[in-house]
Homo-oligomer: A and B are copies of this chain.
Amino acid sequence: MEQKFIQSLYDAHQRAPRMPEPALVCNWLEGLLGVLFPEFSNHRYRSHREFTQHFGDLQLELFRILQSLDDRHGVVPEHVEHQFMERLPFVRDLLLQDADAILAGDPAAVSLTEVIRTYPGFYAIAVYRLAHEFQQLQIPLIPRILTEHAHSKTGIDIHPAARIGPGFCIDHGTGVVIGETCDIGHQVKIYQGVTLGALSVRKDLARTKRHPTIEDRAIIYAGATILGGDTVIGHDTIIGGNVWITKSVPPHCRIYYTGYIRQQEAAGKE
């Protein structure tokens, strides 16, 4: 019987589709981040040529990863690589705006170097923005491998298909969930434990807008949950912590949590 089990496992392995090795993908990601931001890199380049060659290595590695995708997906590695590289300057500009927003929004932050090097919020946004480019190019699996890597490191789970405007700021970040069809405006700021989710998870709703829209300059405090594809948080609105919202909120509102009971105890008892 054990033999039968091993046989069935072996058969499963024989049937399994080819896919890019996550360790390679994540390694490439870290290399790319180190090139885009010296704060992520421990290497000091001694010449422009060394840098250019290194950049070429990263491009080739991307090409190889794209080649390792199962043929069924119809990906043309040359095209995808080219289109991705074309987008990099734009992505980097976006990320610098994100870093500025984080630095401006956190009194504890002392420098851009510290924000880029150590803030998990910045890391998660950086990975999302790169993954989002692959998602736009309809590459399978890789976007998800990237964002789940960031999720594992930071506790921040951003679906690569979400749309997020410039100057996005996530503080602390653990427990943040941003769903597939979210639409987030400019200079939005969210805190740890915020969920931007769906009201229903009926499978036939795939590809429809199931997650909320957050307009420019909205702020959403820790632990708030905002659900539904028709839910719009208006621009300049502030959602308080731990609030649960399933309906739209107009611009320039403040939503406060309420509802607890205080009870004084006799001192010292347990």
Residues of chain A touching chain B, judged by Cβ–Cβ distance below 8 Å, are: 2, 5-7, 9-10, 12-17, 19, 21-23, 35-39, 41-42, 44-53, 55-57, 60, 63-64, 67, 85, 88-89, 92, 104-108, 110, 113-114, 117-120, 140-141, 144-145, 148, 151-157, 159, 161, 171-172, 174-177, 179-180, 191-193, 195, 197-198, 201-207, 210, 221-223, 225, 227, 236, 240-245, 249-268
Contact = CB atoms under 8 A, between A and B. Distances in A.
Nearest to A259: B259
Contacts of A243: 242, 260
Given A255-B260, A261-B258, A264-B252, A152 B151 contact: no
Contacts of A259: 257-260
Contacts of A21: 42
A38 B89 CA distance: 37
Contacts of A152: 120, 153-154
Contacts of A42: 21-23
Tell me the dominant secondary structure on chain A's binding face.
mixed
Nearest to A239: B260
Contacts of A113: 16-17, 19, 141
A264 to B, nearest CB: 6
Contacts of A92: 9
Contacts of A47: 63
27 contacts: A5-B89, A7-B48, A9-B55, A13-B38, A16-B39, A16-B113, A46-B64, A49-B60, A114-B144, A117-B145, A120-B157, A152-B153, A155-B155, A174-B174, A175-B193, A191-B197, A192-B195, A223-B244, A236-B265, A240-B244, A252-B264, A252-B268, A253-B264, A255-B261, A256-B260, A256-B261, A256-B263
A165 to B, nearest CB: 19
Nearest to A60: B53
Closest 4 CB pairs of A and B: A259-B259, A16-B38, A107-B206, A244-B257
Given A5-B89, A120-B152, 7 more contacts: A13-B38, A23-B42, A53-B57, A105-B201, A174-B176, A225-B241, A255-B260
A75 B7 CA distance: 27
